[in-house]
Structure 1
Amino acid sequence: MSRKIFVNLPVEDLERSKRFYEAIGARNEPKFTNEAAAMMVLSDTIHIMLLTKPFYSTFTTRPIADAHQTSQVLLCISCDSPAEVDEITNAAGAAGGKIDVSQEDQTQGGPMYGRDFEDPDGHQWAPMWMDPEFAEKGAHPVESATADIV
C-alpha cells in the first residue's frame, strides 16, 4: 500500500473551509466528516483534514498559530502544467482565498512555474509545475540548482 498524507489544518469556520477546498478541486469524504472535522480528498494520496480549532486542540498542547500572522508550513502541490497552476490559484482567489501572496515570482520562465495562495484561515499553498527535463536531471550541485531556478 502506498503512503498517504493527511494534512491537519485548524479552521475557524468548518463549512466555509469545506466550500473553499471544494472550489479548488477537493471532494468531501462524508465517512470522516462531522460537526468538528471534515476530510477533503485532494488526490488518492493527499487528504486535508479540516479541524475546528477546539477539536484540533485535542491533538496538541501547543498553542494554535494564527496562520494570518505566522508561517508554520508551506504546502507545495505538484501540477501537470503551468495552466493547471493558474487554474488552481485562480479558483482559490474566486473562492475567497488570497492569491500570489509570496514575494517570489515563479512565473517568469525557467524550469519551474509556481504561484501561491492562502486559504481563508491563512494556510499557505503553492501549486507548482516543474519542467520534466529539469526534474529528470535534478538540482545538483546546489549552487547551480539555485541559479537554474531563479
Structure 2
Amino acid sequence: MNLPRREAAKTDCFYQALGFQKNDMFSDENATSWMLSDEIFVMSLNEDFYNGFLVNGDQASFGEGSKQMLNALSAESSEEVDTFVKNASENGVAIYREAKSDAPGMYSAAVADPDGHVWEIVYMDMSAWAEGNEAGTDQANN
C-alpha cells in the first residue's frame, strides 16, 4: 500500500517504533518501504512524490476530516493489541480509538500515524465469536 507523508523522519519513526522492518532496497529520499509482514509492505511517500502518481487533479489526503479507510492489522492476542497501542503512545502517536471489546471475541484499538492515517489492530477469538453469534441467532429464533 502507498501512503503519503508530510515529514519523513516522524513517519519513519512511527513504523520503526511499532517494530516494522525497513526495506532499504526500496527506500530513498522520496520514499521508505516498510515490511509489516512477509506479505504486507507499506510505501511511505513524500507528498509531492505521491501526488506524481495521481491524475485528474487529485491530491494526497491526510487524516483531517473524513476517513476513506482504516488500515487493519491482525493480532495474536488481546495483549498484542495493548502492546501495539502502548508502543504507539510512548512514541508520540495519537490514540484514535481506545482498546475495547467490540463484540464477543473481538478486541481492538486504533492509532493515527503522524500523517493522520488510521491503523487499527484487532484480535479475534474465533471460538468466542462463534459462541456469541450462535447465542444471538438462538435468541432471534425464540
| Residue of structure 2 equivalent to 1:118 | 112
Q: Which amino acid aligns with 1:127?
A: I
| Residue of structure 1 equivalent to 2:140 | none
Counterparts of 2:131 and 2:2 in 1: how far apart (Å)? Answer: 30
Two-structure CA RMSD over aligned residues (Å): 2.4
| Residue of structure 1 equivalent to 2:49 | 55
Q: Which has the larger radius of gyration?
A: 2
Q: Are 2:110 and 1:128 equivalent residues in the alignment?
A: no
| Residue of structure 2 equivalent to 1:81 | 77
Q: Are 2:24 and 1:8 equivalent residues in the alignment?
A: no
Q: Among the aligned pairs, what percent are the same residue? A: 30
Greater shift in the superposed pair: 105-114 or 17-26: 105-114
| Residue of structure 1 equivalent to 2:35 | 41
CA contact (8 A) 1:96 1:119 kept: no
**How far does residue 8 in structure 1 lie from its aligned partner after superposition?**
0.8
CA contact (8 A) 2:99 2:110 kept: no
- Is the partner of 1:127 in helix, strand or coil? strand
Deviating 4+ runs (over 4 angstroms): 137-141
Counterparts of 1:71 and 1:28 in 2: how far apart (Å)? Answer: 26
Count matched residues.
134
- Is the partner of 1:72 in helix, strand or coil? coil
CA contact (8 A) 2:102 2:108 kept: no
Counterparts of 1:33 and 1:71 in 2: how far apart (Å)? Answer: 27
The TM-score with structure 2 as length reference comes to: 0.84
| Residue of structure 1 equivalent to 2:23 | 29
- Is the partner of 2:3 in helix, strand or coil? strand
Counterparts of 1:44 and 1:78 in 2: how far apart (Å)? Answer: 14
The TM-score with structure 1 as length reference comes to: 0.79
CA contact (8 A) 2:2 2:45 kept: yes
Query: Which ranges in structure 2 are unaligned for 5 or more consecutive residues?
Result: 138-142
For residues 99-122 of structure 1, what are the alpha-carbon distances to aligned partners after superposition, in whole Å with 9 as ceiling and x for unaligned?
1x23x8633773100011000110
